[in-house]
Structure 1
Amino acid sequence: MLQAERHQKIIELISKKGSVQVEELATLLNVSLMTIRRDLEKLKQEGRIDRCHGGAIIKKEVPYTEKQTKEIEVKQKIAEGCIRLIHKGNVIYLDAGTTTYEIAKLLKNSTGLTVVTNDIEIARILLSSNVNLILCGGTVQKSTGSMVGAIANQMMENMRVDIAFMGATSIDDQFNVMTPTMDKAVMKYNICKNSKERYLVVDSSKFGKQAFIKINHLSDYTAVITNKAFTRDEIKMLKEMRITIIPVFVD
């Protein structure tokens, strides 16, 4: 069995059971304990799993409070770039996340806008603003402060917006946009499908990593707003795939 096949089997097993032990994987896949340990370490480095004593568990969402403290200056610069794309009368979707939270902070004094979001913290900050605010219903994912599940998905499937500012857990080497859970993947896909313009707002730390579920591809977005410094080979790929990048520079 090739390494890629083994990795896929490991992810499938962990997803079904929640956790697996090294010995269990070695027996099921008919390989050595050392091979399994190397596989798990690689999957951990890719951000697809977390290690636990003697085995591995599925990658969990990073808590909202922890994400808020990371790359804060970059997120603020990305938010400033996003504001220039918004016009009076727009219906805007702000995806759950700390970069979109920075966009919300800049919209507090705006008028003539409608903001739709599935992020409780974004809704909270816009409660005292002049924007028309619509909070997506659903099950509350408490660790991230976002609304998810069938109700949220159904609501967004039937809604149309002018501009969607979307986040992502990771973008792999082929520029696929990834997220840890199926619920979020379905919702994000529906929002992108139902938006006239869609912008992916991500800092450089999100690139070159994997997550469990693919949402879509960078080429599915109007543009990607990021501080990522792409290599020469990556720039060539971006041009071939007709992906537009709006660069953000931080002093």
Structure 2
Amino acid sequence: MLTIQRRALISARLNRDGQLVAKLLADELNLSEDTIRRDLREMAAEGLLKRVHGGAMPLTPPLPDFAARQEISGDMKQRLGHKAASLVSNGQTIFLDGGTTNTHLARALPREMRITVVTHSPTIASELEHHEAEVILIGGKLYKHSMVAVGASTLSAINQIRLDIFFLGVTAIHPVYGLSTGNYEEAAIKQAIVQQAAETYVLSTPEKFGAASPFRITGVESLAGVVVDGDMMPEPLAAYRELGVEILPA
């Protein structure tokens, strides 16, 4: 097999599976593992993929800062937020992850609703200033890119709370690799919150589907549902329905 053919196959597998194990591909193609690793090194040097231990993952483009992200797909995120807010009932304890889409969710919650909102995002907490909801703001080291708290003290506080719903923010969602994000500490916090919640939902804009970021949070099967743009084509969502995840168009 020619080098160009191997590289095309590697790119196709990364797009399909969200990851690639060098040894498995070498065995499948009856090639040496060194050959595949060399291809991965060269493709990584050209900015075509991300090398990880034992293989590779697709690149996800770096996100702009928080203020800039607030201006992206604002109308769509508002619709997603309103749909997600309809899932919340009086008396529940919910956790709102950081992120611009969940900011719209916070704004969409009825002001008179009697709920408890837990968050580690000062940005989210500030949106609830005039709501009847009780707001619990968890502290820690501020990860400024996402405007959320991370670290040991954040984890300790999360482990003391049981949640009805967690609205999880992610940078990528893939049927095989699962839900992922771009920061190791942030991923650990999200993993802990998933464990404390009876149900977890994701609000996702279309570009996040089929992508994978470096740090995995949990599998897609952990989700109760995904809130998506109502105009999104059904084909990219079929794999998630097959995994038993409810798709909630906004």
Structure 1 and Structure 2 fold alike (TM over 0.5): yes
Which residue number in structure 2 is paired with residue 229 of structure 1?
232
Counterpart for residue 26 of structure 1: none
Aligned with residue 122 of structure 1, among 117, 121, 124? 124
Per-residue deviation, 1:107 = 2.5
State the SS of the aligned residue for 1:41: coil
Q: Partner of 1:188: helix, strand, or coil?
A: helix
Contact kept? 1:136, 1:155, Cα under 8 Å: yes
Amino acid at match of 1:155: A
Matches within 5 A, 1:184-199: 184-199=186-201
In structure 1, the residue matched to 2:214 is 212
| 1:199-241 deviations in Å (ceiling 9; x for gaps) | 1111112112221111112221111111173554751x23431
Look up the equivalent residue of 1:41 and give its one-letter code: L
2:48 corresponds to which of 38, 41, 47: 41
Q: What residue is the counterpart of 2:26 in the other structure? A: none
CA contact (8 A) 1:164 1:197 kept: yes
Post-superposition shift, 1:105? 1.0
**Does the residue aligned with 1:151 lie in a helix, a strand or coil?**
helix
- 2-side partners of 1:219 and 1:89: how far apart? 26
Q: What stretches of structure 1 of length at least 5 have no aligned partner?
A: 10-28, 51-58
**CA–CA distance in 1 between the matches of 2:84 and 2:175?**
25
Q: Which whole-Å CA distance do the structure 2 matches of 1:145 and 1:82 have between them? A: 21
Match of 1:80 among 77, 82, 89: 82
Spell out, residue by residue over 1:160-179, the C-alpha distance to the aligned partner (whole angstroms, 9 max, x if none): 11111111011135361111
2 CA distance for matches of 1:32 and 1:121?
40
Following TM superposition, by how much is the alpha carbon of 1:119 offset from its aligned partner in structure 2, in angstroms? 1.0
What is the aligned partner in structure 2 of residue 170 from structure 1?
172
Conserved 8 A contact 1:108-1:128: no
Gaps of 5+ in 2: 1-5, 11-18, 22-36, 52-56
Residues 111, 130 of structure 1: 8 Å contact kept: yes
- Residue 240 (structure 1) aligned with residue 247 (structure 2): no
Structure 1 residue aligned with 2:69? 67
1:166 corresponds to which letter in structure 2?
L
Whole-Å separation in 2 of the counterparts to 1:151 and 1:181 = 17
Q: Match for 2:210: what amino acid?
A: G
Letter paired with 1:213 = F
How far apart, in 2, do the equivalents of 1:32 and 1:126 lie? 47
Establish whether residue 146 from structure 1 lines up as the match of residue 148 from structure 2: yes
Query: Are the equivalent residues in 1 in contact too, given 2:179–2:219 (CA < 8 A)?
Result: yes
How far is the alpha carbon of 1:196 from its aligned partner? 1.5
Contact 1:218 1:224 in 2 (8 A): no
Counterparts of 1:139 and 1:84 in 2: how far apart (Å)? Answer: 32
* TM-score, normalisation: structure 2: 0.75
Change in 2 beyond 3 A, CA 1:72/1:155: same
Distance (whole Å) between structure 2 residues aligned to residue 36 and residue 143 of structure 1: 25
Q: Which residue of 2 aligns with 1:161?
A: 163
Aligned partners of 2:185, 2:228: CA distance in 1, in Å?
25
Give the AA of the match of 1:126. L
**Selected match of 1:109 from 108, 111, 130:** 111
Distance 1:116 1:62 in 2: 26
